[in-house]
Structure 1
Amino acid sequence: MVNPKYAEQVLVGIQYKNSFSWYLGDCEMWYLDYNEAGYLPSEYEKEREGIPILTKDTVDAFLERIEQNKINTEDIKRKFLSELEENPNDAIYDYRPCFLVDFDNSIFYSQFPESISFEEYIPKDWKGYFQKFYENVPDKFRYWQIDGKNYFK
């Protein structure tokens, strides 16, 4: 597993078909509507080639392409704890999830740490929010809550 890196390699929660998963990838891959974001077809990430707008209709192909980016919650937790011991400040920044994409309800949540508004570049029938979304993540996937301590308060 590649480690998350602040504002570059980001952790993303995906809610789809009543199932939740974590993925790690380049932040640019998570503009749901590349057209709205001003991307040209030649600029698409290979994972998004032919998928300029990521919706319920295109997500299956996309998730198949990024299967290698899927991360088990326990693996994230183990690496997060290890990083906390070595470099606590970096761990808090690097391992904070940036996006939650809820394909079941057509909602995109962003808490991207830089001044890029990913939540504005979404399909027309979606809702986008810039806000903390930790409480929207199912309990068993909250790798930042360890032994009763919440590291992302």
Structure 2
Amino acid sequence: MKLLPEYAKILIVGVVFQNQWSWYVTEREYWFLNVEMEDRFGIEVLDETTAECFFERIHDYKVATSDLTCTLIELEDAFGSYDDVLEFMPAIYVNFDDKVLYSLFPEPMSFEHYVPDGWTGEYRDFYALVPEGERYWVIQGESFFERMWNKFRA
């Protein structure tokens, strides 16, 4: 993994493009889809027509589900509070095939308001949309996030 998630700065993003699921760990600025970003390789609007070029450019930030799971396991003892765990929760879901962006970004940056024309953007829980085999936080049938929540609220 090239970057580790960092609360509200480096995000875990689930992507569907050409019927393929992928995880990316990137800077948050990439995911304001309809806003020209200096660091988005000259791509003014990130949509289904520009996604292929974009993903070629950020290939190094693509992360295997197993790598995310292993990172959670490796860092478990290092988490000092549930706030540390929040960094590892998926923040954004972008489906380029269906033209939707769902955000669970916890800060007052509303990614869902920055979608291209013809897209749907919403602040909503998208975890049920993640294919079961891609849910890196489910370890041996148990939600890592739920287990850590119970640990820190006790």
* TM-score (norm. length: structure 2): 0.88
- Contact 1:83–1:91 under 8 Å retained in 2: no
TM alignment of 1:31-110, pairs within 5 A: 31-34=32-35, 44-45=38-39, 48-87=40-79, 89-110=82-103
CA distance in 2, matches of 1:22, 1:91: 20
3-state SS of 1:44 partner: coil
TM alignment of 1:71-150, pairs within 5 A: 71-87=63-79, 89-150=82-143
Stretches of structure 2 lacking an aligned partner (at least 5 in a row): 147-154
- Contact 1:84–1:91 under 8 Å retained in 2: no
- RMSD of aligned Cα (Å): 1.4
3-state SS of 2:15 partner: strand
3-state SS of 1:29 partner: helix
Q: List structure 1 runs of 4+ shifted beyond 4 angstroms.
A: none
Q: Percent of aligned positions with the same letter in both sequences?
A: 36
CA distance in 2, matches of 1:52, 1:14: 19
Size of the alignment, in residue pairs? 144
CA distance in 2, matches of 1:68, 1:6: 20
* TM-score (norm. length: structure 1): 0.89
Shift of 1:85: 2.1
CA distance in 1, matches of 2:26, 2:131: 21
Shift of 1:72: 0.6
- Contact 1:92–1:151 under 8 Å retained in 2: no
